[in-house]
Amino acid sequence: MYDRRIMGTADATTTASSALFDPQAILESRVRGAMVRAVPDLASQSPEAIDPMVTASRNAKFGDYQCNAAMGLGKKLGKPPREIAQAIIKNLDLTDIAEPITEANIAGPGFINITLKPQSLSSLLTTMAGASMGFPAPGSLGTAVVDLCGVNLAKQMHVGHLRSTVIGDTLANILQRAGWKVIRQNHVGDWGLPIAMVTSRLIDQAAAGQIDLSKVTLDDLDKAYKAAQRECESDQRGLLMAQRWHMGPKIIAELQAQADGAAEKSERARSVLRRLQTHDKDVMAVWQRISDVTMSACLTIASRLNADVRPEHSAGESSYAEELAPMVAELEKSQVAQISEGALVIRLEDVGLNEPLLIRKSDGAFLYATTDMAAIRRRVQKLGAQRVVYCVDARQSLHFKQVFAGASKAGYAKLPSGQNAVLEHAAFGTILGEDGRPFKTRSGESAKLGELLDQAEAYAFEVITQRSPDMSEDERRSISRTIAVAAIRYVDLSTERIKDYVFSYQRMVSFEGNTGPYLLYALVRIRSIFRKAAERGISTSDLPAPTIAHAAEKTLALALLRYPGVVQDVAKSLEPSRLCAYLYELAGVFSTFFDVCPVLSAASDSERASRLALCKLAEGVLAEGLKLLGIPTLEKM
């Protein structure tokens, strides 16, 4: 449906630069060369088409890395795979980095097992430390827009906004690190009839002296929003039922009165909407007040979640309002859109979508999709995005398929190069309650993010008070805030994006096992070593290249070298859970190392220096990984 070729460009760039020290990339390139020499027919193919199938071995007894290319190639050429494997190893020169490859390294149907030399692990680690992890220069891959957060005016941030904010912030961080220039866009729901309804209600209430607009809080607005929805919603079904079941004139009259009242309120709301659209001064003043109160409260919550969502990232629906009419007129004129049953639609059957995209209602009003079209146009044409990533609920999948297809048809996604920008929906699942329905509190409200943070902080405070009673209360409070953010963000990021998950305080505040606090703990233990070293006057500068001797050191070294590849994978797959899984594994292998390899009390000065070097690398990778996840780090906990 849309062009993904730009992705290929990104891959080529990133792979080339990390090949300096990433064993997988080095081995891939060597094996590819060997494959071409072993099977001359392959020489005619482009390098990308020759898959060397190199992966880290799952089981240490099969070496560090394995190549599975012989089986596939054997099948393709109709030759025994072990024969192909032999031909590959005959042409494979790994003497500088791996133990000698002989026939003994060919296992089973044709796996080639590769074990790296401890000496080369050491030099690869040193290269990695000095090479900015091998990432492309900032911004060198182009511009990516990340659509995140998506709060609505007059609504508290609730669990429904958690995922968009946390996943979006994390993906933005990761894309940036992987070499993209990132522009965050908070597509605030600040326009349209629902906003007009609450504005209308507030105008009435202020006029009646029931509220003081200069003092309203977001809580007040939230209540007004719900009340406005209710009073504009006519209970037509109830009225019909009452009439059908002859429920008595009194009930019918009441329902009739409610319906009449709702009709009147709706009409007033529509009038306010018209005045909003023509920027009527009085109405705009109220709207602006609603906007200020909402954004200030929501951005405070975002900041508590350590998400980088600031006022300058806001590009609300209102900011597109003036662009819609000309855009739609142009689409109609160019015949990209057609009239159907009174509405204006873009037909998409030719790209496999049966449902057309509605961009103008039969009453002339524009829709959600109209604004999204305008947003794509601005993001690609004005902001210069080669990639636009939407962190939005999976239930909007069809909507985005349609909008992407519509924008592509209209030419809005076209770049100066003639290629289409890559439009991606980073869809995420719903947060559910214990009953398997979308999460609500007992009173039927959405759980507010502020309260969620408070709860997690309170629990963290309990735990830390128990564990470190000697710490000052201020310090314990401050640490609790970090632990709460780590716990909440990690829960949201650590499972596959697309999956629903059941919300549970127990899970949110659990600090054992595969959790954010566990990662913080691992980092704190590394930092503690350096603090102790300083206390004892042990130098931690000018450390040598680490010597990889102990099995736990080797496991740690291999894990560290995988880091840049993982970040690049996430920049491509938009799957932060893979970075979580990696960091959890890294924290685990470090913990094992920490247990079995004394650092400060190592057997010799040289062993101590070597282990300190390894610790420094682990500290750097873990801290950076956490930073990408938006988890602030600690010195103590």
Tell the smallest beta-carbon distance from residue 25 to RNA (Å): 13
Q: Does 633 bind RNA (CB under 7 A)?
A: no
Query: What whole-number distance in Å separates Cα of residue 365 and Cα of residue 321?
Result: 11
Query: What residues contact residue 75 under an 8 Å CB cut-off, 6+ apart?
Result: 81
**CA-CA distance, 195 to 22, in Å (whole number)?**
52
Judged by CB under 7 A, the residue of 138, 588, 620, 632 near RNA is 588
Tokens representing residue 493 in the block: 């990021």
Asked whether position 306 contacts RNA by CB under 7 A, the answer is no
Q: Under the criterion CB under 7 A, does residue 60 sit at the interface with RNA?
A: no
DSSP code, position 636: -
Question: How many residues lie near RNA (CB under 7 A)?
Answer: 105
If one counts every other C-beta atom within 10 angstroms of the C-beta of residue 425, the result is 21
- Tokens for 441? 């509190």
Indicate the residue among 83 and 254 with the shorter CB distance to RNA: 83
CA–CA separation, 545 and 613 (whole Å): 7
- Binding-site member from 34, 94, 133, 637 for RNA (CB under 7 A): 637
Closest separation between CB of residue 295 and RNA, Å? 16
| Contact pattern from residue 10 through residue 29 relative to RNA, giving x for each residue in contact according to CB under 7 A and a dash for the rest | --------------------
Candidates 59, 102, 335, 541; binder of RNA (CB under 7 A) is 59
d(CA 385, CA 142): 7
Closer to RNA by Cβ: residue 21 or 584: 584
Cβ neighbours of residue 223 closer than 8 Å, sequence gap 6 or more: none
**Measured from the CB atom, is 143 or 291 closer to RNA?**
291
Whether the Cβ atoms of residue 493 and residue 170 lie closer than 8 Å to each other:
yes
Which region, judged by CB under 7 A, interacts with RNA, from 29-37, 56-64, 209-217, 286-294?
Answer: 56-64
| 272: nearest Cα among 260, 264, 280 | 280
Radius of gyration from C-alpha coordinates of the chain? 29
Our CA angle for 527, 474, 491, nearest 5°, is: 60
Helices marked H in 468-562? 473-493, 505-508, 516-535, 551-561
525 binds RNA (CB under 7 A): yes
Nearest 10 degrees: Cα torsion 500, 505, 511, 513? -40
102 contacts RNA (rule: CB under 7 A): no
Nearest to 149 by CA among 290, 372, 305: 305
CB of 129 to RNA, least distance (A): 20
Residue of 37, 270, 289, 578 that binds RNA (CB under 7 A): 578
Which of 434, 600, 593 has the alpha carbon at shortest distance from 503? 434
Which of these segments, 88-96, 106-114, 257-265, 327-335, binds RNA (CB under 7 A)? 106-114
Residue with Cβ nearer RNA (443 or 601): 601
Instruction: Name the residue type at position 496.
Output: E
How far apart are CB 211 and RNA at their closest, in Å? 25
The C-alpha atoms of residue 368 and residue 446 are separated, in whole angstroms, by 23
Q: Which of residues 550-569 bind RNA (CB under 7 A)?
A: 569
Q: What is d(CA 59, CA 190) in angstroms, rounded to the nearest whole number?
A: 54
DSSP character for 116?
B
Q: Does 494 bind RNA (CB under 7 A)?
A: yes
Stretch that binds RNA, among 13-21, 115-123, 258-266, 506-514 (CB under 7 A): 506-514
- Which member of 36, 227, 463, 549 binds RNA (CB under 7 A)? 463
Q: Does position 622 bind RNA by CB under 7 A?
A: no
Question: Which residues within the stretch 157-216 sit at the binding site for RNA (CB under 7 A)?
Answer: 189, 192-194
Nearer to RNA by Cβ, of 212 and 267: the residue is 267
Closest distance to RNA from the beta carbon of 503 (Å): 10
Looking up tokens 């009419």, which residue turns up? 325
User: Which part of the chain contacts RNA (CB under 7 A), choosing from 101-109, 119-127, 175-183, 440-448?
Assistant: 101-109
Q: Does 478 bind RNA (CB under 7 A)?
A: no
CA 64-70-73 angle, to 5 degrees, is: 145
Nearer to RNA, 419 or 468 (CB): 468
Q: Which residue number, 513 or 537, has a Cβ lying nearer to RNA?
A: 513
Nearest distance, CB of residue 490 and RNA, angstroms: 12
The span from the CA of 523 to the CA of 621, in Å, is: 10
- Cα separation, 492 vs 508, in Å, equals 9
User: What span, in angstroms and rounded, lies between the C-alpha atoms of 246 and 501?
Assistant: 45
What part of residues 331-360 is at the interface with RNA (CB under 7 A)? 340-343, 345, 354-356, 358
For position 537 contacting RNA by CB under 7 A, the verdict is no
Residue 89 touching RNA (CB under 7 A)? no
Of residues 395 through 434, those in contact with RNA by CB under 7 A are 395-399, 429-430
- Please state the separation of Cα 12 from the chain's center in Å: 23
Smallest separation, CB 551 to RNA (Å): 11
By beta-carbon proximity to RNA, the closer residue of 169 and 607 is 607
Q: How far is the CB of 565 from RNA (least distance, A)?
A: 8
Of 68, 120, 446, 610, the residue at the interface with RNA (CB under 7 A) is 68
